[in-house]
């Protein structure tokens, strides 16, 4: 077993985890379009440290649809389930601010930083 030390001083087995399982996920940046979620660092949204999450596309993709300025939680292709407000997601669901999403044993609170009244792309276009 090869132990790795993270930047905060925690030790972890790098054969089991791609990053420190003791350090919390501070925030996830969601881009326009699909954002596959899984444990693998190949996923756009990587949630390491929870072995009950599939490596790739763990039944969840958060998508931002820019025309309607809405976010959606969509089932992925892995066999694991994802839950929105403790209900299993079998078809695309629209996400609302402060919805709780459960993937594996990880609970996430959805807090959008853009939407109907504000989008980053519009800000970037106005500053050019």
Q: Residues 29-87: pLDDT tens digits?
A: 677 778 888 888 778 788 878 888 888 876 677 788 888 888 999 988 888 899 999 99
Identify the sign of the CA torsion 5, 29, 52, 58.
Answer: negative
Kindly list the domain boundaries of the chain, sorted by start residue.
27-126
Quote the pTM value.
Answer: 0.69
Under a CB-based contact definition with an 8 Å cutoff, are residues 49 and 17 in contact? yes
Measured between alpha carbons, how far is 49 from 27 in angstroms, rounded to an integer? Answer: 15
3-state secondary structure of 128: coil
* Assigned CATH class of 27-126: mainly beta
Task: Tell me the per-residue pLDDT of 88-115, one tens digit each, with 9 for 90 and over.
Answer: 999 999 999 999 999 999 998 998 887 7
């Amino acid at each position: 077993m090869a132990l790795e030390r993270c930047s905060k001083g925690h030790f972890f087995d790098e054969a089991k985890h791609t990053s420190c399982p003791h350090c919390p996920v501070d925030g996830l940046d969601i881009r326009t379009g699909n954002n596959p979620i899984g444990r693998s660092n190949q996923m756009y949204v990587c949630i390491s440290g929870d072995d009950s999450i599939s490596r790739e596309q763990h039944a969840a993709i958060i998508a931002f649809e820019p025309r309607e300025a809405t976010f959606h939680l969509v089932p992925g292709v892995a066999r694991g389930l994802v839950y929105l407000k403790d209900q299993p997601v079998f078809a695309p669901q629209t996400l609302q601010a402060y919805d709780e999403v459960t993937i594996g044993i990880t609970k996430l609170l959805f807090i959008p930083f853009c939407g109907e009244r504000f989008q980053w792309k519009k800000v970037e276009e106005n500053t050019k």
